[in-house]
């Protein structure tokens, strides 16, 4: 049984990739993911705001002692020379790539144009095999139109592609008015892969404390539908690889994504629920399904249920919307 695949030019032993999350926050966690069976690891995201906070905290600490302990400041270089950066993150990249045999993909989220390019370059220099741009940005500015939002994605991609030579993927929001066209624009601009889709963590409201409460829920299989749709629609129409993420809990979701046309399937929630060793269970389930239907390799099954190859392409379009509405049965509906 050949589970090998390629993702943004990287040769992988199987299509299961650990997506960005807390399990990839330590070297031990990355090793456990490799031992569990994943073919690649996307490290937890580095956020530029965290780096800025560390810089500000360091500057404040130095300023507090400038009057009473001026002589001690001679032990520290000037702030211009002392570049506080994502050193622990870069060190983890170095140690991980030296320790594990699977590709290690760094993940980056920035707020400034310079940040995207500078930190991307540092990650490549640290040894990352690829880079995932986690463009997590809520367009909350009511004066920003859709064209400006789309151009922002393109500008980020072009800035990073101009700074590094390793493959670059974009983890996308599903909230584009013309998702297919946007995917084509990013493909033309040089994206090596598109990751569908980023989960935007909406806040909740604590009605007792009258506070906005950040909440985090692991993804569930019901969330597979939207990325499944767009992977099926985009398969075979882009040069860029397609990565599916969201909603994976069993091998069934992995199989569905591959049938729709995904090059790889990413998960964090399933591995957090069941542990890194659960990756082997997911892969065994995929193998069992393939054996039962006579598939000898991933390539034979990939995309056979995509829009371009489905026996009924209308199932992905408006006609199926009407069928779905008509199919629902409720004991309270009039007959």
Report DSSP letters for 271-305, one per residue. HHHH-TTHHHHHHHHHHHHHHHTT--BHHHHTTTT
The per-residue pLDDT for 326 is 62
The per-residue pLDDT for 26 is 93
Contact between 263 and 284 under an 8 Å Cβ cutoff? The reply is no
In a domain, 331, yes or no: no
Count how many domains the chain has.
1
The per-residue pLDDT for 15 is 98
Query: Could you please report the per-residue DSSP string of 117-168?
Result: HHHHHHHHHHT-SEEEEE-------TT--HHHHHHHHHHHHHHHHTT--S-E
The DSSP element (H or E) to which 203 belongs, if any, is: none
C-alpha angle 222/174/4, rounded to 5°?
A: 70
In a domain, 319, yes or no: no
The per-residue pLDDT for 116 is 85
How far apart, in whole angstroms, are the C-alpha atoms of residue 239 and residue 8? 9
**Residue 149 domain boundaries:** 5-306
In a domain, 316, yes or no: no
Token reading at 254: 């992995």
In a domain, 318, yes or no: no
The pTM of this model reads 0.83
The low-confidence residues of the chain, meaning pLDDT below 70, are 48-85, 111-113, 136-140, 200-202, 214-217, 219, 310-335
The per-residue pLDDT for 199 is 74
Q: pLDDT tens across 4-39, in order?
A: 999 999 999 999 999 998 899 999 999 999 999 999
In a domain, 330, yes or no: no
Nearest to 84 by CA among 93, 96, 95, 76: 76
How far apart, in whole angstroms, are the C-alpha atoms of residue 283 and residue 278? 9
In a domain, 238, yes or no: yes
The per-residue pLDDT for 54 is 45
How far apart, in whole angstroms, are the C-alpha atoms of residue 160 and residue 194? 15
In a domain, 17, yes or no: yes
The per-residue pLDDT for 260 is 97
The per-residue pLDDT for 83 is 38
In a domain, 322, yes or no: no
The per-residue pLDDT for 285 is 98
Q: What is the largest CA-CA distance in the chain?
A: 87
Q: What is the CATH number of the domain that holds 79?
A: 3.20.20.70
Token reading at 315: 């199932």
The DSSP element (H or E) to which 39 belongs, if any, is: none
| DSSP code for 192 | S
């Amino acid at each position: 049984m050949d589970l090998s695949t390629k993702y943004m030019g990287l040769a992988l032993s199987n299509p299961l990739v650990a997506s960005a999350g807390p399990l990839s926050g330590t070297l031990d966690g990355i090793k456990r993911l490799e031992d569990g069976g994943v073919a690649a690891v996307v490290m937890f995201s580095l956020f530029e705001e965290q780096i800025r906070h560390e810089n500000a905290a360091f500057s404040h600490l130095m300023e507090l002692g400038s009057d009473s302990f001026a002589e001690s400041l001679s032990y520290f270089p000037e702030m211009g020379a002392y570049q506080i950066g994502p050193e622990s993150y870069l060190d983890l990249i170095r140690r991980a790539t030296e320790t594990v045999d699977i590709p290690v993909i760094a993940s980056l989220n920035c707020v400034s144009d310079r940040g995207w390019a500078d930190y991307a370059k540092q990650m490549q220099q640290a040894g990352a095999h690829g880079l995932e741009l986690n463009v997590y940005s809520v367009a909350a500015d009511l004066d920003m139109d859709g064209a400006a939002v789309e151009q922002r994605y393109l500008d980020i991609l072009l800035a990073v592609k101009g700074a590094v030579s390793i493959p670059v993927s974009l983890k996308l929001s599903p909230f584009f008015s013309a998702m297919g066209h946007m995917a084509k624009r990013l493909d033309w601009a040089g994206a090596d892969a598109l990751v569908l889709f980023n989960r935007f963590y909406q806040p909740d409201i604590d009605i007792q404390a009258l506070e906005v409460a950040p909440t985090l829920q692991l993804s569930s299989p019901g969330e597979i539908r939207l990325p499944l749709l767009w992977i099926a629609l985009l398969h075979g129409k882009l040069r860029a690889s397609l990565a599916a993420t969201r909603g994976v809990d069993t091998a069934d979701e992995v199989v569905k994504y591959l049938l729709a046309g995904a090059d790889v399937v990413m998960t964090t929630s399933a591995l957090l629920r069941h542990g890194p060793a659960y990756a082997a269970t997911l892969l065994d389930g995929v193998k069992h399904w393939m054996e039962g239907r006579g598939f000898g390799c991933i390539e034979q099954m990939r995309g056979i249920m995509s829009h371009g190859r489905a026996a009924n392409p209308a199932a992905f379009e408006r006609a199926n919307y009407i069928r779905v509405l008509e199919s629902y049965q409720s004991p309270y509906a009039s007959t």
